[in-house]
Amino acid sequence: MAVHAHPDDESSKGAATMVRYVNEGADVLVVTLTGGERGSILNPAMDRPEIRENIGEVRRKEMEQARQILGVRQEFSGFIDSGLPEGDPLPPLPEGCFAVQPLEVAAEPLVRSVREFRPHVIITYDEQGGYPHPDHIMCHKVSVEAFEAAGDPDRYPGTGKPWQPLKLYYHVSFPRQRFERIAEIMAERGLTNPFAEWIERMKDRNFPQWEITTQVECGEHFETRDRALIAHATQIDPNGFWFAVPLDIQREAWPYEDYHLARSLVDTELPEDDLFAGVRETVRT
Protein backbone atom coordinates (compact mmCIF):
# COMPACT_ATOMS: atom_id res chain seq x y z
CA MET A 1 0.00 0.00 0.00
CA ALA A 2 1.33 3.41 -1.01
CA VAL A 3 -0.24 6.34 0.87
CA HIS A 4 -0.09 9.74 -0.83
CA ALA A 5 -1.46 13.22 -0.29
CA HIS A 6 -2.54 14.21 -3.82
CA PRO A 7 -3.05 12.79 -7.31
CA ASP A 8 0.35 12.77 -9.08
CA ASP A 9 2.33 12.06 -5.87
CA GLU A 10 2.14 8.33 -6.57
CA SER A 11 3.82 8.84 -9.95
CA SER A 12 6.61 11.11 -8.70
CA LYS A 13 7.49 8.98 -5.66
CA GLY A 14 7.93 5.22 -5.83
CA ALA A 15 6.14 4.62 -9.12
CA ALA A 16 8.80 2.40 -10.68
CA THR A 17 8.92 0.36 -7.47
CA MET A 18 5.19 -0.26 -7.67
CA VAL A 19 5.42 -1.31 -11.31
CA ARG A 20 8.19 -3.77 -10.47
CA TYR A 21 6.14 -5.42 -7.74
CA VAL A 22 2.97 -5.47 -9.84
CA ASN A 23 4.95 -7.27 -12.54
CA GLU A 24 6.14 -9.74 -9.92
CA GLY A 25 2.55 -10.52 -8.94
CA ALA A 26 2.00 -8.25 -5.94
CA ASP A 27 -1.35 -6.57 -5.36
CA VAL A 28 -0.63 -2.84 -4.98
CA LEU A 29 -3.08 -0.20 -3.75
CA VAL A 30 -2.50 3.55 -3.90
CA VAL A 31 -4.50 5.48 -1.32
CA THR A 32 -4.84 9.14 -2.31
CA LEU A 33 -5.93 11.13 0.72
CA THR A 34 -7.17 14.29 -1.04
CA GLY A 35 -8.48 15.15 -4.48
CA GLY A 36 -5.91 17.84 -5.23
CA GLU A 37 -8.67 20.43 -5.57
CA ARG A 38 -6.44 23.35 -4.55
CA GLY A 39 -3.48 22.38 -6.68
CA SER A 40 -2.02 24.89 -9.12
CA ILE A 41 -1.81 24.17 -12.84
CA LEU A 42 1.92 23.65 -13.34
CA ASN A 43 1.86 22.81 -17.03
CA PRO A 44 1.38 26.03 -19.05
CA ALA A 45 -0.25 24.10 -21.90
CA MET A 46 -3.10 23.10 -19.55
CA ASP A 47 -3.72 26.49 -17.98
CA ARG A 48 -7.17 27.17 -19.41
CA PRO A 49 -10.31 28.57 -17.70
CA GLU A 50 -12.38 25.41 -18.15
CA ILE A 51 -9.65 23.36 -16.47
CA ARG A 52 -9.12 25.83 -13.62
CA GLU A 53 -12.86 25.77 -12.92
CA ASN A 54 -13.00 21.96 -12.79
CA ILE A 55 -9.54 21.13 -11.46
CA GLY A 56 -10.78 18.49 -9.00
CA GLU A 57 -12.63 16.54 -11.68
CA VAL A 58 -9.73 16.87 -14.11
CA ARG A 59 -7.23 15.56 -11.57
CA ARG A 60 -9.40 12.53 -10.83
CA LYS A 61 -9.41 11.68 -14.52
CA GLU A 62 -5.64 12.12 -14.64
CA MET A 63 -5.30 9.82 -11.65
CA GLU A 64 -7.30 7.12 -13.41
CA GLN A 65 -5.05 7.32 -16.46
CA ALA A 66 -1.94 7.07 -14.30
CA ARG A 67 -3.43 4.17 -12.34
CA GLN A 68 -3.97 2.22 -15.53
CA ILE A 69 -0.41 2.90 -16.71
CA LEU A 70 1.06 1.74 -13.40
CA GLY A 71 -1.22 -1.29 -13.14
CA VAL A 72 -2.22 -0.58 -9.54
CA ARG A 73 -5.45 -0.24 -7.67
CA GLN A 74 -6.32 3.22 -6.37
CA GLU A 75 -8.85 4.84 -4.07
CA PHE A 76 -9.53 8.32 -2.74
CA SER A 77 -10.05 8.86 1.00
CA GLY A 78 -12.32 11.84 0.33
CA PHE A 79 -10.55 14.72 2.06
CA ILE A 80 -10.21 18.20 0.59
CA ASP A 81 -6.79 19.46 -0.48
CA SER A 82 -5.37 22.03 1.94
CA GLY A 83 -3.38 23.96 -0.65
CA LEU A 84 0.15 25.23 -0.10
CA PRO A 85 0.05 28.39 2.02
CA GLU A 86 2.37 31.18 0.93
CA GLY A 87 3.35 34.47 2.51
CA ASP A 88 5.00 35.80 5.65
CA PRO A 89 3.30 35.24 7.96
CA LEU A 90 1.63 32.18 6.43
CA PRO A 91 -2.16 32.49 6.13
CA PRO A 92 -4.38 30.04 8.02
CA LEU A 93 -5.33 26.85 6.23
CA PRO A 94 -8.83 26.67 4.70
CA GLU A 95 -11.61 25.56 7.01
CA GLY A 96 -12.43 21.87 6.71
CA CYS A 97 -9.35 20.92 4.69
CA PHE A 98 -7.40 17.71 5.27
CA ALA A 99 -4.50 19.18 7.23
CA VAL A 100 -6.73 20.73 9.95
CA GLN A 101 -8.66 17.54 10.71
CA PRO A 102 -8.22 15.91 14.13
CA LEU A 103 -5.85 12.97 13.77
CA GLU A 104 -8.46 10.31 14.47
CA VAL A 105 -10.83 11.82 11.91
CA ALA A 106 -8.08 12.05 9.29
CA ALA A 107 -6.80 8.53 9.99
CA GLU A 108 -10.09 6.64 10.15
CA PRO A 109 -10.54 6.14 6.38
CA LEU A 110 -6.95 4.91 6.09
CA VAL A 111 -7.41 2.48 8.97
CA ARG A 112 -10.47 1.18 7.14
CA SER A 113 -8.47 0.83 3.93
CA VAL A 114 -5.68 -1.05 5.72
CA ARG A 115 -8.15 -3.44 7.29
CA GLU A 116 -9.91 -4.05 3.98
CA PHE A 117 -6.82 -4.33 1.75
CA ARG A 118 -4.60 -6.07 4.36
CA PRO A 119 -1.19 -4.90 3.14
CA HIS A 120 2.05 -6.37 4.43
CA VAL A 121 4.03 -3.22 3.55
CA ILE A 122 3.07 0.47 3.64
CA ILE A 123 5.11 3.26 2.04
CA THR A 124 4.56 6.91 2.91
CA TYR A 125 6.35 10.19 3.75
CA ASP A 126 8.66 11.18 6.60
CA GLU A 127 7.82 13.63 9.41
CA GLN A 128 8.38 16.63 7.14
CA GLY A 129 6.32 15.12 4.36
CA GLY A 130 9.32 14.90 2.04
CA TYR A 131 8.83 18.65 1.81
CA PRO A 132 6.76 20.74 4.21
CA HIS A 133 3.37 20.75 2.47
CA PRO A 134 0.67 20.54 5.17
CA ASP A 135 -1.08 17.64 3.42
CA HIS A 136 2.17 15.69 3.13
CA ILE A 137 2.89 16.19 6.82
CA MET A 138 -0.62 15.04 7.71
CA CYS A 139 -0.17 12.10 5.34
CA HIS A 140 2.81 11.02 7.43
CA LYS A 141 0.81 11.34 10.65
CA VAL A 142 -2.16 9.31 9.47
CA SER A 143 0.07 6.64 7.91
CA VAL A 144 1.90 6.08 11.18
CA GLU A 145 -1.40 6.13 13.06
CA ALA A 146 -2.94 3.56 10.73
CA PHE A 147 0.14 1.32 10.87
CA GLU A 148 0.03 1.30 14.65
CA ALA A 149 -3.75 1.19 15.12
CA ALA A 150 -5.11 -1.08 12.40
CA GLY A 151 -4.06 -4.23 14.24
CA ASP A 152 -5.63 -3.19 17.55
CA PRO A 153 -9.24 -4.45 17.89
CA ASP A 154 -9.99 -1.75 20.47
CA ARG A 155 -9.16 1.14 18.16
CA TYR A 156 -11.33 2.54 15.37
CA PRO A 157 -14.33 0.29 15.96
CA GLY A 158 -16.58 -0.20 12.95
CA THR A 159 -13.77 -0.02 10.38
CA GLY A 160 -13.33 -3.74 9.82
CA LYS A 161 -11.42 -6.65 11.28
CA PRO A 162 -7.99 -5.83 12.71
CA TRP A 163 -4.99 -6.23 10.42
CA GLN A 164 -1.37 -5.53 11.32
CA PRO A 165 0.98 -4.47 8.50
CA LEU A 166 4.52 -5.70 8.97
CA LYS A 167 6.74 -2.93 7.58
CA LEU A 168 6.49 0.85 7.17
CA TYR A 169 8.80 2.78 4.85
CA TYR A 170 9.46 6.44 4.14
CA HIS A 171 10.35 7.62 0.65
CA VAL A 172 13.87 9.01 0.27
CA SER A 173 12.95 10.83 -2.91
CA PHE A 174 15.87 13.19 -3.49
CA PRO A 175 19.08 11.65 -2.13
CA ARG A 176 21.95 14.01 -2.84
CA GLN A 177 24.23 11.19 -3.93
CA ARG A 178 21.83 10.28 -6.73
CA PHE A 179 22.00 13.76 -8.24
CA GLU A 180 25.74 13.97 -7.73
CA ARG A 181 26.17 10.70 -9.64
CA ILE A 182 23.96 11.97 -12.46
CA ALA A 183 26.07 15.14 -12.58
CA GLU A 184 29.27 13.07 -12.87
CA ILE A 185 27.98 11.06 -15.82
CA MET A 186 26.57 14.15 -17.56
CA ALA A 187 29.97 15.82 -17.21
CA GLU A 188 31.76 12.73 -18.54
CA ARG A 189 29.58 12.88 -21.64
CA GLY A 190 29.98 16.62 -22.10
CA LEU A 191 26.31 17.28 -21.34
CA THR A 192 24.79 20.11 -19.31
CA ASN A 193 23.38 19.01 -15.98
CA PRO A 194 19.79 20.30 -15.75
CA PHE A 195 19.78 19.76 -11.97
CA ALA A 196 22.82 21.94 -11.22
CA GLU A 197 20.91 25.04 -10.08
CA TRP A 198 18.33 22.95 -8.25
CA ILE A 199 21.06 21.08 -6.33
CA GLU A 200 22.58 24.39 -5.22
CA ARG A 201 19.21 25.60 -3.95
CA MET A 202 18.64 22.34 -2.09
CA LYS A 203 21.90 22.78 -0.18
CA ASP A 204 20.42 25.85 1.50
CA ARG A 205 17.29 24.03 2.66
CA ASN A 206 17.15 22.17 5.92
CA PHE A 207 15.56 18.95 4.66
CA PRO A 208 16.23 15.81 6.69
CA GLN A 209 18.67 13.42 5.09
CA TRP A 210 17.20 10.05 5.94
CA GLU A 211 19.47 7.05 5.84
CA ILE A 212 18.77 4.92 2.79
CA THR A 213 18.14 1.49 4.28
CA THR A 214 16.51 -0.03 1.21
CA GLN A 215 17.22 0.36 -2.49
CA VAL A 216 14.77 -1.23 -4.91
CA GLU A 217 16.26 -1.80 -8.34
CA CYS A 218 13.63 -0.70 -10.83
CA GLY A 219 15.42 1.18 -13.62
CA GLU A 220 13.73 -0.89 -16.30
CA HIS A 221 10.43 0.68 -15.23
CA PHE A 222 11.51 4.35 -15.39
CA GLU A 223 9.80 4.79 -18.75
CA THR A 224 6.49 3.59 -17.29
CA ARG A 225 7.00 5.91 -14.33
CA ASP A 226 7.44 8.85 -16.70
CA ARG A 227 4.34 7.96 -18.71
CA ALA A 228 2.32 7.90 -15.49
CA LEU A 229 3.75 11.26 -14.49
CA ILE A 230 2.89 12.80 -17.84
CA ALA A 231 -0.68 11.50 -17.45
CA HIS A 232 -1.02 14.12 -14.69
CA ALA A 233 -1.04 16.76 -17.40
CA THR A 234 -2.11 19.69 -15.19
CA GLN A 235 0.80 19.06 -12.82
CA ILE A 236 3.63 17.90 -15.06
CA ASP A 237 5.18 19.80 -17.94
CA PRO A 238 6.53 17.13 -20.31
CA ASN A 239 9.15 19.65 -21.44
CA GLY A 240 10.27 20.32 -17.87
CA PHE A 241 13.71 19.66 -16.47
CA TRP A 242 12.65 16.44 -14.69
CA PHE A 243 12.67 14.75 -18.10
CA ALA A 244 15.89 16.37 -19.34
CA VAL A 245 18.22 13.55 -18.26
CA PRO A 246 18.12 10.64 -20.73
CA LEU A 247 16.79 7.42 -19.27
CA ASP A 248 19.95 5.52 -20.08
CA ILE A 249 21.94 7.95 -17.93
CA GLN A 250 19.40 7.68 -15.13
CA ARG A 251 19.67 3.90 -15.22
CA GLU A 252 23.45 3.99 -15.27
CA ALA A 253 23.68 6.54 -12.48
CA TRP A 254 21.00 5.33 -10.09
CA PRO A 255 18.69 2.48 -11.20
CA TYR A 256 16.95 2.48 -7.83
CA GLU A 257 14.20 4.04 -5.79
CA ASP A 258 15.23 4.64 -2.21
CA TYR A 259 13.52 4.10 1.14
CA HIS A 260 14.05 4.36 4.86
CA LEU A 261 12.71 1.48 6.95
CA ALA A 262 10.82 3.24 9.74
CA ARG A 263 9.03 0.30 11.40
CA SER A 264 9.43 -3.46 11.07
CA LEU A 265 7.73 -6.30 12.89
CA VAL A 266 9.79 -8.90 11.02
CA ASP A 267 13.47 -9.74 11.10
CA THR A 268 15.45 -8.19 8.28
CA GLU A 269 19.06 -7.26 7.62
CA LEU A 270 20.07 -3.80 6.49
CA PRO A 271 20.75 -2.66 3.87
CA GLU A 272 17.86 -4.24 1.95
CA ASP A 273 17.10 -4.54 -1.76
CA ASP A 274 13.48 -5.65 -1.33
CA LEU A 275 10.56 -4.03 0.51
CA PHE A 276 9.32 -7.52 1.31
CA ALA A 277 12.58 -8.70 2.88
CA GLY A 278 11.60 -10.62 6.00
CA VAL A 279 7.94 -10.49 5.01
CA ARG A 280 8.21 -13.26 2.44
CA GLU A 281 9.78 -15.58 5.00
CA THR A 282 7.23 -14.70 7.68
CA VAL A 283 4.21 -15.14 5.45
CA ARG A 284 5.44 -18.53 4.19
CA THR A 285 5.84 -19.96 7.73
* Residue ranges at the known binding site for Zn(2+): 6, 9, 136
Task: Tell me how far CA of residue 137 lies from CA of 23, 78, 132, 156, 214, in angstroms.
Answer: 30, 17, 7, 21, 22
CB 152 within 8 A of CB 166: no
Cis peptide before 194 (omega within 30 of 0): no
Q: Are the CB atoms for 258 and 170 separated by under 8 Å?
A: no
180 CB neighbour count, 10 Å cutoff: 14
End-to-end CA distance of the chain: 22
Q: What is the sign, positive or negative, of the torsion defined by CA atoms of 212, 120, 123, 159?
A: negative
Taking the C-alpha atoms of residue 119 and residue 114, their distance in angstroms, rounded to an integer, is 6
Instruction: Report how far residue 39's alpha carbon sits from residue 56's, in angstroms, rounded to the nearest whole number.
Output: 9
* Binding-site residue set: 6, 9, 136
